[in-house]
């Protein structure tokens, strides 16, 4: 793998607190990503916003505005994680699909090439910049745009199951599953819009548990125990 897109859920940043940030959790991620960057692997990152806000969080406000708050939540997450990454010795840049003054730089293909060439970790904040989308879709969109080799989906669960493992103890974990089967069976990997985009653009995914020791590094180095989503 030369270039990867790592997706972290907002909840993953919060650790046991479920909201806000858990610095120890983020530092563990930073140390693993540094190992990859030091080996010359180019790492792009998309982070969800669920530790702060979702477009569905309020029934009383307009969905477009609620989604804007959600997109800004992903920007807060990216600024925070980017700073922790810097403190762990990496160079980082936050890119957004909309102007945010000095908080970030506007996404462009050229900027991505420039920052990767200088060994920066790039944070793709602000989702797609449009309401009614998710950071799942932003992840696939950016992975396709930057021509990533693969998407690494770091989740609270350790792979893709045929049922919810939290409510069904007999749920079976897949070692490998095709994106077509994910779509047909509506398996909980990424949302439907993102799944279809993965299929159409032949973008593979590796799904694994963020909380397992060294799981990001192990996944990249082939010691993979999660689910491979093939295209």
Cβ closest to ligand UDP, residue 77 vs residue 92: 77
DSSP label of 191: -
Exposure on the CB side of residue 90, measured as CA atoms within 13 A: 33
Residue 174 assigned to a binding site: no
Cβ closest to ligand UDP, residue 113 vs residue 129: 129
Least Å distance between CB 7 and ligand UDP? 9
Least Å distance between CB 51 and ligand UDP? 8
**Dihedral pair phi/psi, residue 191, rounded to 5°:** -70, 170
3-state DSSP call for residue 38?
A: helix
Residue 223 assigned to a binding site: no
Cβ closest to ligand UDP, residue 136 vs residue 158: 136
Residue 54 assigned to a binding site: yes
Cβ closest to ligand UDP, residue 131 vs residue 204: 131
Which one, of 45, 44, 43, 47, lies nearest residue 9 by Cα? 47
Cβ closest to ligand UDP, residue 134 vs residue 215: 134
Least Å distance between CB 97 and ligand UDP? 8
Residue 72 assigned to a binding site: no
CA distance 133 to 46: 14
Residue 128 assigned to a binding site: yes
- Helix axis angle, 23-38 to 63-87, nearest 10°: 60
Least Å distance between CB 17 and ligand UDP? 16
Burial 138-151 (b: 16+ CB within 10 A, else e): bbbbbbbbbebebb
Residues in contact with ligand UDP by CB under 6 A are 10, 48-50, 54-55, 66-67, 70-71, 73-74, 127-128, 130-131, 133-138
Cβ closest to ligand UDP, residue 89 vs residue 129: 129
CA distance 215 to 29: 9
Least Å distance between CB 196 and ligand UDP? 15
Which class for 204: exposed (0-12), middle (13-18), buried (19 or more C-beta within 10 A)? middle
Q: Measured in Å, how far apart are the chain's first and last C-alpha atoms?
A: 17
Residue 132 assigned to a binding site: yes
Binding residues for ATP: 7-10, 50, 54, 161, 164
Annotated binding site for UMP: 49, 67, 128-135
* Binding site listing: 7-10, 49-50, 54, 67, 128-135, 161, 164
């Amino acid at each position: 793998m030369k270039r990867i897109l790592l997706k972290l859920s907002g909840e993953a940043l919060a650790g046991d607190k479920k909201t806000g940030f858990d610095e120890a959790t983020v530092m563990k991620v930073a140390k693993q990503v540094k190992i990859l960057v030091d080996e010359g692997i180019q790492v792009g990152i998309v982070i969800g916003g669920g530790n702060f806000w979702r477009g569905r969080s309020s029934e009383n406000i307009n969905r477009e505005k609620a989604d804007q708050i959600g997109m800004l939540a992903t920007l807060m997450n990216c600024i925070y994680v980017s700073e922790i990454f810097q403190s762990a010795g990496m160079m980082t840049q936050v890119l957004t699909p909309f102007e945010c003054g000095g908080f970030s730089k506007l996404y462009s293909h050229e900027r991505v090439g420039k920052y990767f060439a200088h060994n920066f970790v790039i944070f793709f904040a602000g989702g797609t910049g449009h309401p009614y989308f998710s950071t799942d879709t932003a992840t696939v969109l950016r992975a396709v745009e930057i021509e990533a080799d693969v998407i690494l989906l770091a989740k609270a669960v350790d792979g893709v199951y045929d049922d919810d493992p939290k409510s069904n103890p007999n749920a079976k974990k897949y070692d490998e599953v095709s994106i077509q089967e994910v779509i047909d069976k509506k398996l909980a990997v990424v949302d439907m819009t993102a799944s279809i985009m993965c299929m159409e653009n032949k973008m593979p995914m590796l799904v694994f548990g963020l909380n397992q020791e060294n799981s990001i590094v192990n996944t990249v180095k082939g010691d993979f125990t999660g689910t491979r989503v093939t295209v």
